Structure formats: structure tokens, C-alpha cells
């Protein structure tokens, strides 16, 4: 009987460790229902904008950014956390800096982006973008912006280096 409980305990702890490294994402968001400002329309080709242009903010906004990566980009972004698939930024100064970075609308689309950035305010999804990260460029894609690239990818790379690992077995996204 003791052996049975030892095996059950071992399996439970193994599952807990595995899902802490590779969390399950439960995404209950409804597409295109995020509370954005009236500036959410796509821009003209070459026009610059900031994510701040899309987000309704107040001084007491409590934002969190989740960066969900495939293994290849995860190794590139956060060398010390190669096995973690979800990274998190909760420092409001870093998030404010990220939202104020300039992007350029390219009037194109990218079909095979496998990574995602999710901006949450008080536990609810505000913005969700597909993100492509390469050594030379970082770009986002969404129904609001189309494909847009950051004007200074090195600055974004430095911000992404400040991500911490998300250590819980489940991430619940809702709007």
C-alpha cells in the first residue's frame, strides 16, 4: 500500500514539475472583442504607431505581458530559461516602455508566426499579437495592425531579456 502512494506521489510531483516548465494555456478569449481605442484601424504602409495608440490606459493600469514562445525562439530570447515556453513581464516601467516603442506598418501579412504576446490588465486580455523574433527583426501581427515591425529591434530584445519565467502549471486567459 505504501508503494502505491509513493508511486502516486512521484507521478503527481513529476507532472507538477513538467507543467511548471511547460504550462497549459487555457485561452477563453473571444477574438476581436478587446476594449481598444478608436485608433485600432490599420495604418497606411510605412506609417509609424505605438501600441500605446491602441490601449486604453489609466494611471492605475496594472498590466502584465505574457510571451508564449516555441522552443526555437525561447532559446534565442532567454538563454537561461531554454525549456520554459511562457515568460512574463509584470514590471510596469518595462511594460510602459514596451508599449511606447515605435512600429512601422508594412501592409503585409505573415502566415506562419507561432509565438504570441498577450497584454493583460487586471487579469483580462487587452491585446493579443502573434510575434516573430529573429536576430535581425522583431515584428507583430494582429487584425488591428496587420504585420508591423519594431523600428529598433535591439531595444525590444533588451526588454524581452527582462522577462521572468511563468512558474505555474496553468495560465488562464479571459476577456
The average pLDDT across 145-172 equals 85
More confident residue, 73 or 121: 121
DSSP 3-state of 134: coil
Average pLDDT along the chain? 79
- Please, which pLDDT band fits residue 38 given cuts at 50, 70 and 90? very low
In sequence order, what DSSP letters do the residues of 23-81 get, joined into one string? -EEEE-PPTT---B-TT-S---TT-EEEGGGTB---TT--EEEEEE--HHHHHHH-GGG
Contacts of 142 by beta carbon, 8 Å cutoff, 6+ apart: 127, 128, 129, 130
Q: What is the DSSP letter of 151?
A: S
Q: What is the C-alpha to C-alpha distance for residues 175 and 168, in angstroms, rounded to an integer? A: 20
More confident residue, 64 or 153: 64
Q: Percent of the chain, pLDDT > 90?
A: 9
Q: Percent of the chain, pLDDT > 70?
A: 81
- Please, which pLDDT band fits residue 64 given cuts at 50, 70 and 90? very high
The average pLDDT across 41-60 equals 72
**Range of 64-73, 83-92, 93-102, 153-162 with top mean pLDDT:** 93-102
How many Cβ atoms are within 10 Å of 97's Cβ, its own excluded?
A: 16
Is pLDDT at 87 greater than 50 in this prediction? yes
Amino acid at each position: 500500500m505504501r508503494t502505491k502512494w509513493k508511486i502516486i506521489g512521484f507521478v503527481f510531483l513529476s507532472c507538477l514539475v513538467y507543467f511548471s516548465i511547460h504550462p497549459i494555456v487555457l485561452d477563453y478569449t473571444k477574438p476581436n472583442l478587446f476594449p481598444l481605442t478608436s485608433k485600432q484601424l490599420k495604418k497606411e504602409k510605412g506609417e509609424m504607431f505605438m501600441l500605446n495608440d491602441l490601449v486604453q490606459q489609466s494611471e492605475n493600469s496594472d498590466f502584465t505581458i505574457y510571451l508564449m514562445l516555441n522552443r526555437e525562439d525561447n532559446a534565442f530570447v532567454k538563454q537561461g530559461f531554454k525549456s520554459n515556453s511562457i515568460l512574463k513581464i509584470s514590471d510596469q516601467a518595462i511594460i510602459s516602455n514596451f508599449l511606447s516603442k515605435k512600429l512601422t506598418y508594412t501592409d503585409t501579412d505573415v502566415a506562419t508566426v507561432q509565438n504570441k504576446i498577450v497584454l493583460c490588465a487586471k487579469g483580462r486580455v487587452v491585446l493579443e499579437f502573434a510575434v516573430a523574433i529573429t536576430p535581425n527583426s522583431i515584428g507583430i501581427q494582429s487584425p488591428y495592425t496587420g504585420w508591423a515591425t519594431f523600428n529598433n529591434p535591439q531595444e525590444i530584445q533588451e526588454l524581452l531579456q527582462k522577462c521572468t519565467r511563468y512558474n505555474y502549471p496553468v495560465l488562464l486567459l479571459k476577456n
